[in-house]
């Protein structure tokens, strides 16, 4: 699926903490982008749901960010260059950021920067970062049961 510029901007806002943007994604039939957000936050149930519902691009993107080279190669092979470029931006490859800018894909660049900032915050090696990861595990369990109850 090709995503609208507005949907990518809303996903960026959601990553930055705007819960209304997440609601907008669901209300405007971009449920898979909401699931992508939760997959990026580490909820394996969300990643599994992306795969089960055959949302291949967001699933491959989330998996590639986790370091899976096959998922990254799938993005390239299937000509999802903007998604592959975001993976490279998150991995601090300047050429990918320049490529996104050159092709007027600033909204994808903004999303990659927002995701990268979120990953840095979540991966801090301090006590609060560790506590956050522990709590996220509990949230993942609640997410799974909430989604499977309906």
Domain count, the chain: 1
With cut-offs at 50, 70 and 90, classify the pLDDT of residue 141.
very low
Buried b (16+ CB within 10 A) or exposed e, 105-140: bebbbbbbbbbbebeeeeeeeeeeeeeeeeeeeeeb
Residue corresponding to tokens 């080279």: 69
Query: Where in the sequence is the domain holding 105, given as residue range(s)?
Result: 5-149
Contact (CB, 8 A) for 31 and 23: no
Given a cut of 70, whether residue 30 has pLDDT beyond it is yes
Structure confidence by residue, pLDDT tens digits, 33-81: 999 999 998 888 999 999 999 999 999 999 999 899 999 999 999 999 9
Is the pTM here over 0.95, yes or no? no
């Amino acid at each position: 699926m090709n995503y609208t510029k507005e949907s990518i901007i809303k996903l960026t806002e959601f990553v930055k903490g705007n819960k209304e943007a997440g609601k907008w994604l669901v209300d405007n039939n971009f449920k898979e982008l909401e699931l992508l957000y939760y997959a990026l936050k580490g909820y394996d149930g969300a990643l599994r749901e992306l795969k089960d519902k055959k949302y291949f691009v967001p699933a491959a993107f989330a998996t590639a960010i986790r370091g899976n080279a096959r998922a990254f190669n799938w993005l390239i092979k299937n000509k999802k260059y903007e998604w592959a470029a975001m993976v490279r931006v998150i991995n601090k490859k300047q050429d990918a950021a320049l490529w996104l800018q050159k092709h007027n894909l600033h909204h994808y660049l903004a999303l990659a920067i927002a995701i990268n900032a979120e990953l840095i915050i979540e991966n801090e090696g301090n006590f609060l970062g560790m506590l956050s990861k522990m709590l996220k595990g509990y949230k993942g369990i609640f997410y799974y049961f909430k989604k499977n109850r309906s």
